Chains A and B, each alone.
Chain A
Amino acid sequence: EVQLVESGGGLVQPGGSLRLSCAASGFTLSSYWMTWVRQAPGKGLEWVANINPDGNDKDFLDSVRGRFAISRDNARNSLYLQLNSLRTEDTAVYYCARMISGYVPDSWGQGTLVTVSS
């Protein structure tokens, strides 16, 4: 069974940093593109970043480029999202997801809440 478990969320002040982790199991992480998607409270879904299986090809939402970094450790079955220079508008539940067949997110984790507030 495919499982994705996010962790690392919490309350942080504007300008602060957090590192989110996503532990993968039930599939071979090194074979898949992975993605992070966020959802502000009561709002819709917003794509944040993608990373290819080797970790050397990455895409970012314009509003997070230069502030967020995506990485992976296939040997540890883990995906990461480093969030720097956080803003109040970054407050959201952050989901990691596996991508299949032409880059479609299919399996999702339960999400981790990031709250940016003073």
Chain B
Amino acid sequence: EIVMTQSPPTLSVSPGESATLSCRASQSVGYNLAWYQQKPGQAPRLLIYGASKRATGIPARFIGSGSGTEFTLTISRLQSEDFVVYFCLHYNSWWRFGQGTKVEIK
């Protein structure tokens, strides 16, 4: 069973700065990795799939990278609406979410 581990659980960043979120897989998942943003009381929103492809309508400030077991979501020029929770997901052969990273205002 593949386990997805996100770090850190909480990330404190100042508005306008950049945030780097990590997601690690317990075994190689190739490029089958997606990132979601979830605001309170709302459904998740797809940001990145295929490790680095931005979903429709997602700003270029959101950049996904990595392959195999190590993945990163970088959010540049953080805006007020970006201070929410982010999840990674391994998909295709099995579907496993990371436990989430909360980005909070420093």
Residues of A with Cβ closer than 8 Å to B? 35, 37, 44-47, 50, 95, 100-111
Contacts and interface: CB of A to CB of B under 8 A. Distances in A.
Interface stretch (B12-20, B44-52, B75-83): B44-52
Contacts of A102: 32, 49-50, 91-92
Given A95-B43, A103-B92, A111-B43, A44 B34 contact: no
A45 B91 contact: no
Given A44-B87, A45-B38, A108-B43, 13 more contacts: A47-B97, A50-B95, A95-B43, A95-B44, A101-B50, A102-B91, A103-B92, A104-B49, A105-B34, A105-B89, A108-B45, A109-B43, A111-B43
B98 interface: yes
Contacts of A45: 36, 38, 44, 87, 89, 97, 100
Interface residues of B, number: 22
A47 B36 CA distance: 14
B69 interface: no
Interface of B: 32, 34, 36, 38, 42-46, 49-50, 55, 87, 89, 91-92, 95-100
A104 B55 CA distance: 11
Q: Among B38, B43, B98, find the residue whose CB has the most chain A CB atoms closer than 10 A.
A: B43
Nearest to A106: B46
Contacts of A104: 34, 46, 49-50, 89, 91
A95 B97 CA distance: 14
A84 B85 CA distance: 31
A28 to B, nearest CB: 17
Given A102-B91, A104-B49, A47 B96 contact: yes
A99 to B, nearest CB: 8
